[in-house]
Structure 1
Amino acid sequence: MGKVLGDVLGLAAGVAVSPLPIIAVILILATPRGRSNGLLFTVGWILGLSVLGAVMLAVASPAGASSHNHPATWVGALKLALGLFLVVFGARLWHRRPKDPSEARLPKWMGAIDRLTPVKVFGLGLALAALNAKNAPLTIAAGAAIGSAGLPAGQQIASLAVFVLVASLGLLAPLGVYLLGGERAKTTLGNWKDWAAQHNVAVMAVLFFVLGLKLLGDGISVLTS
């Protein structure tokens, strides 16, 4: 189990450092129903990662993701494909990043966050976790890594839980600051939001590229060993 955790913690950290979801939860916390909606958004996020990871585990185990405690060939091919996608997408993002960070613009949907119902806030957290172009491939890769390790079901579930927890730290941090920071929390969260908004594209591009290279290496290792 220790080796599996070593494999997935890097992927979980990549999910945790997701500027857009962090900006979204900070904006949600600034609304009149910030406490309840912030919790709903975070629960949706955690559920999205958990369901996607669990689906991958359910697919991987019966499909022979592990052969004699060695990842099956299709797991290597999957990691190779995911890695290639992330590298290409990361290079594309880097090319399109604003030259001046102050010119960065947030997605238009963020302007409507203060008007979202609790159900839509929950759905937004779910979507940003499970349908995000970076988070979904990393979560799928983590599920494949866990499913290909030949672990008992209990250890697979525990490994997925650790992945989800670490992957959620990016949201839990601002939520914790909001709940425990008092009046100074607004200033702190505002500074975090401004920095993430200005450097969102560059951070995402670097993460895409670095994690894509890692998955490419993992895939090649599986396919050639």
Structure 2
Amino acid sequence: MGHAVGDVLGLAAGVAVSPLPIVAIILALATPRGRLNGPLFALGWVLGLAALGAIMLAVGGSGGASAHKQPAAWVGALKLALGLLLVLFGARQWRRRPADPSQEQLPKWMAAIDRLPPLKILGLGLLLSAANVKNAPLTIAAGASISSAGIPVPQQIGVLAVFVAIASLGVLAPLGVYLFMGERAKSVLGNWRDWAASHNVVVMAVLFFVLGLKLLGDGISILAD
């Protein structure tokens, strides 16, 4: 089980560093119903990652590992495809980076967060985790790694839980600050929001490249064995 956890740690860290979802939960916390909207967003985020990972475990099943407990060829092909996808996204992000980080603009839908009802806040958290162009491939790759580890189903579930917990640290950190820092939270979260908004494109481009190359390497290694 330990080697399976090691395989997904980097992927989980890549999911955790998600500037736009971090900005989104900070905006949700700033609404009049912040004590409700913040936890709902975080819950949606966790549910999205857990559901996508569980689907991947179900798809992989016992076919994820060969008789010698080596990853099956389809796992290598999947990681190769996901890695190529992330590298291409990284190139696209890098080309569209602003010359001046202060000119970075947030998506227009973020302006409507303060008007969203609680259920839509929950849905937003789910979408930003499970349907995100970076997080979805990384979660799918993590599920494939877990299913290819040759460990029993209960241990697979345990590794997935570790992945989800680490991958959720980025959105849980603002929630923790909001709940435990009182009045000081507004200033701290405001600084976090401004930094994440201004550096979103560059951070995402670097993450796409690094994690994409990692998945490409993993895929090539599996297919070459």
Partners of 1:187 and 1:204 lie apart in 2 by 25
The TM-score with structure 2 as length reference comes to: 0.99
Partners of 1:211 and 1:49 lie apart in 2 by 17
Shift of 1:92: 1.0
Question: Could you say which residue in structure 1 is the equivalent of 2:64?
Answer: 65
Which amino acid letter does the alignment assign opposite residue 119 of structure 2? V
Shift of 1:179: 0.1
Partners of 1:2 and 1:222 lie apart in 2 by 19
Question: Could you say which residue in structure 2 is the equivalent of 1:161?
Answer: 161
Partners of 2:147 and 2:223 lie apart in 1 by 17
Deviations 1:74-97 (A, max 9, x none): 000000000000001101100111
Question: Could you say which residue in structure 2 is the equivalent of 1:132?
Answer: 132
Partners of 2:154 and 2:29 lie apart in 1 by 35
Deviations 1:91-129 (A, max 9, x none): 110011111000000000000000000010000001001
Partners of 1:198 and 1:61 lie apart in 2 by 41
Pair 1:2-2:31 in alignment: no
The TM-score with structure 1 as length reference comes to: 0.99
Unaligned runs of 5+ in 2: none
Unaligned runs of 5+ in 1: none
Question: Could you say which residue in structure 1 is the equivalent of 2:173?
Answer: 173
Partners of 1:126 and 1:42 lie apart in 2 by 8
Which amino acid letter does the alignment assign opposite residue 169 of structure 1? L
Identity value in percent: 74
Shift of 1:166: 0.1
Partners of 2:5 and 2:216 lie apart in 1 by 19
Which amino acid letter does the alignment assign opposite residue 50 of structure 1? A
CA RMSD of aligned residues (A): 0.5
Partners of 2:7 and 2:19 lie apart in 1 by 23
Which amino acid letter does the alignment assign opposite residue 66 of structure 1? A
Partners of 2:123 and 2:213 lie apart in 1 by 31
Partners of 2:168 and 2:13 lie apart in 1 by 9
Which amino acid letter does the alignment assign opposite residue 48 of structure 1? G
Partners of 1:33 and 1:144 lie apart in 2 by 38
Pair 1:193-2:193 in alignment: yes
Question: Could you say which residue in structure 2 is the equivalent of 1:119?
Answer: 119
Q: Secondary structure at the match of 1:99?
A: coil
Deviations 1:158-191 (A, max 9, x none): 0000000000000110000000001110000000
Partners of 2:90 and 2:9 lie apart in 1 by 20
Q: Secondary structure at the match of 2:151?
A: coil
Question: Could you say which residue in structure 2 is the equivalent of 1:143?
Answer: 143
Partners of 2:21 and 2:88 lie apart in 1 by 22
Partners of 1:139 and 1:38 lie apart in 2 by 23
